[in-house]
A and B are shown apart, each in its own frame.
Chain A
Amino acid sequence: MIEVDGLEKHFGKRHEIKAVAGATFRAEDGEITGLLGPNGAGKTTLLRTLATLIAPDAGSATVDGLDVVRDRYAVRSRIGVLSDARGLYARLTARENVRYYGRLHGLGGAALDARVEALLTQFGLSALADRRAHGFSQGERMKVAIARALVHDPATILLDEPTNGLDIMSIRSLRDLLRGLRQAGKCILFSTHVMQEVAALCDTVVILGHGRVVASGSGVELMNRTGRASLEDAFVSLLGSGEGLAA
């Protein structure tokens, strides 16, 4: 479970850019939570804070009750992160890329081999397992990056725009994967600016605008609250119509 409370993160010499300006929300276990917002709303900054990569300037965030600043290393063991940057090592094979992260998470021996094999099979990467990542397509690279993030079977999964650059087949298989993880009781938080992703997957939607949580709830709740017939209209009415242009 993720709990974010009054989180703020500022950038710039005089802290003039408030990337996250007091965000509060929860993401429950066994649910897929979507972080929806236009470009520049603070999605990546928020996810980086949860991934313990940057420290908040105010407020707090916890993962399963562990503070992302104080207990940063304990948090890292419990989360799987598909970050904004998701580069692979081009000269290592898919298997070696995933294994490397497994070993950094403290796995090893036959258990790690079995886990890597299972992940590669699950992602349909068996044929590519022992080929170097150099020639992989965008979709193949993405799959390896996700397998790498899941190698230690984390309870909490953070994904930053996971569908970026993927074709429709890859997106569908990603959706299936996320549903499977939800079934397994994981807490999944992913950011996107694509409405269809949210509609197709999310149990809860957190709408982010200018670093603040504008609204949160299930898609139906949001539509009811705004009195709109579609999630997209609900989104626009919550953020104000000028938002898309201003961003």
Chain B
Amino acid sequence: MSGATRILTVAGKEVLDTIRDRRAMLVTLLTAIAAGPVFLALIFNMTASQADKARELKLPVVGQENAPALIAFLERSQVVIQTAPADYEAKIRAGELDVALWIDPAFEADVAAGKAGTVRLVYDRSRDRARVAINSAESLLAAYNRLWGTQRLLLRGIATEVARPLKVEDIDLATPQQSGSLILFLVAFYGLFASMMGGMAPALDASAGERERGSLEPLLATPITPLQLALGKWAAIGIFDAVVVVLTLIGFYLTLNFAPLPAIGVPFLFGATELARFLWILAPLIALLSALLLYVGMRGRSLKEAQANVGVLLFVFTMLPFVQLMAQKREPAWLLWAPISAQYTLLSRALRGDAIPAIDWLQSALAPALVTVIALFAVARLLSRETVLGARS
């Protein structure tokens, strides 16, 4: 009997065993597959409601009657003017109001005297939710300032360039897909996350589980070699992990393409091509994590011990993309050699619609391939150690 047949036998048995583990399947499906699209929908709605907020700004004003021209300008700009409650400052501090405008009672008098009229924009910038309203109120006031000044200059026959010698033109180089970087991060991160979570249940069951339930000792007394056993288990974990990744990505694909998500002006590209590219990018990582999880699991004498160790491993791994997101610096060139960071970088590129040269992929796959081979031999070594049999009786 060939080694390949034995490896396939082990892989087949492990896959069947995992599929029958209903609770683990359910947890995996929920965390990896359902949570992604749900999270995505939440973020879409949040972004959309912020866009709505900018579009229909409600502005509580103290002393509307002091500057009727300003109020008229704001109303022309689709702002809903409201009378501010007396305790508007407290309400802003409490987060019940986003922003309020206070107009100086002496506004008209100051303007008539040739002085600048005073208005106060009251807000709490530490509130993320209020930021959109604050920004649009600020830019409306700035626009009014410009308009008024320009009109005055024109009345005096002076070109506007005299007062504003600098002309700033905004050119946003982001393609439509590059906007919405949070959603971009989320999709890339979830691709990584799925490849980490997907293999966990079968890896633990095939390693520490096998030791704990006492089925490892009789298994090792059959003619299978430790390396064949390691390869068979690794293949099963990898297959299962790949399936979870595919299902997760299909979940994203369906959500992004067919779910009734609010239009947020971010034509987001995640079609069949991106799905295939994602899989291609994640393949080395799937191989790596399956081998690592198997190794860490096999070192645990019990499921509990193995679970704790695997938890630490996965925590470190899932943190890496966040570190990368927070670091605002340009990505250093060596990053493509580092597992996980490299995959995250490539996934982001795929989402932005950038080309991924084969050499970059090879670079990203090298370290995972090496570590996979080392981990598999380490598992085989563990399996051939006498201590793997556990307590002597």
* Residues of chain A at the chain B interface (Cβ within 8 Å): 11, 19, 44-45, 48, 51-55, 73, 76-77, 79, 81-92, 96, 100-101, 103-106, 132, 145, 148-149
Q: B216 and A85: CB pair below 8 A?
A: yes
Flag whether B161 is at the interface (Cβ < 8 A). no
**Interface pair B389/A104, CB less than 8 Å apart:** no
> Which chain B residues in 170-225 approach chain A with CB under 8 Å?
213-225
- Give chain B interface residues in 5-47, CB to chain A under 8 Å: 5-6, 9-10, 13, 16-17, 20-21
A86 to B386, CA, bound (A): 17
Contact A106 B1 (CB under 8 A): yes
Q: B388 — nearest CB in chain A belongs to which residue?
A: A53
A146 and B9 alpha carbons, distance in the complex (Å)? 20
Q: Does B328 make an interface contact (CB < 8 A)? A: no
Tell me the bound Cα distance from A101 to B10 in angstroms: 10
Decide yes or no whether B390 CB sits under 8 A from chain A. Answer: yes
We find that the number of chain B residues with CB closer than 8 angstroms to chain A is: 28
- Asked if A85 contacts B217 (CB within 8 A), the reply is yes
Residues in A neighbouring B21, C-beta threshold 8 A: 91
Bound state CA distance, A23 and B291, in angstroms? 41
Q: Least Cβ distance of A49 to chain B in Å?
A: 10
- Known A82-B218, A91-B20; 13 more pairs at CB < 8 Å: A19-B392, A44-B393, A53-B217, A53-B389, A73-B225, A83-B221, A85-B390, A87-B213, A89-B13, A100-B13, A101-B222, A104-B223, A104-B224
Contact of A105 among B17, B215, B222, B386 (CB under 8 A): B222
Q: Chain B 326-348 against A: per-residue CB contact (8 Å), 1 yes, 0 no?
A: 00000000000000000000000
Residue from the list B9, B16, B219 in contact with A92, Cβ < 8 A: B16
CA distance A53 to B387 in the complex (A): 10
B385: nearest residue on chain A (CB-CB)? A54
Which chain A residue has the least Cβ–Cβ distance from B212?
A: A87
* A103 vs chain B, min Cβ distance (A): 4
Contact B217–A89 (Cβ < 8 Å): no
Interface string of B368-393 (1 = CB under 8 A from A): 00000000000000000010011011
Task: Give the CA-CA distance A54 to B10 in the complex, in Å.
Answer: 22
A76 & B222 in contact (Cβ 8 Å cutoff)? yes
Q: 9 smallest A-B Cβ distances: which pairs?
A: A85-B214, A87-B214, A106-B1, A87-B215, A87-B213, A91-B20, A85-B217, A81-B221, A104-B222
Which residues of chain B have C-beta atoms less than 8 A from A101's C-beta?
A: 218, 222
Q: Would you mind naming 11 contact pairs between A and B with Cβ atoms under 8 Å apart?
A: A53-B217, A53-B221, A85-B215, A86-B214, A87-B213, A89-B213, A100-B9, A104-B9, A104-B223, A105-B222, A106-B223
Q: What per-residue 1/0 map shows which CB atoms of B84-112 lie under 8 Å from chain A?
A: 00000000000000000000000000000
B17–A53 CB distance below 8 A: no
Task: Check A81/B218 contact, CB under 8 A, given A92-B13, A104-B223, A106-B223.
Answer: yes
Hey, which chain B residues are within 8 Å of A51, CB to CB? 221
- In this complex, what residue of B is CB-closest to A145? B218
Chain B, residue nearest A83 (CB):
B217
Which chain B residues border A85 with CB–CB below 8 Å? 214-218, 389-390
Residues on A with beta carbons closer than 8 Å to the beta carbon of B219: 104
User: For A82, what are the chain B residues with a Cβ–Cβ distance below 8 Å?
Assistant: 218
Docked Cα-Cα span, A13 to B21, in Å, equals 40
The closest CB in chain A to the CB of B228 belongs to A104
Q: Is B221's CB under 8 angstroms from A79's CB? A: yes
Cα-based distance from A151 to B224 in the complex (angstroms): 15
User: Are the C-beta atoms of B386 and A55 separated by less than 8 Å?
Assistant: yes
Complex contact B218–A83 (CB within 8 A): yes
Which of chain A's residues have a CB closer than 8 A to the CB of B16?
92, 96
Nearest neighbor of B232 in chain A, beta-carbon distance = A104
Residues of B near A19 (CB, < 8 A) are 392
Nearest residue, chain A, Cβ from B220: A53
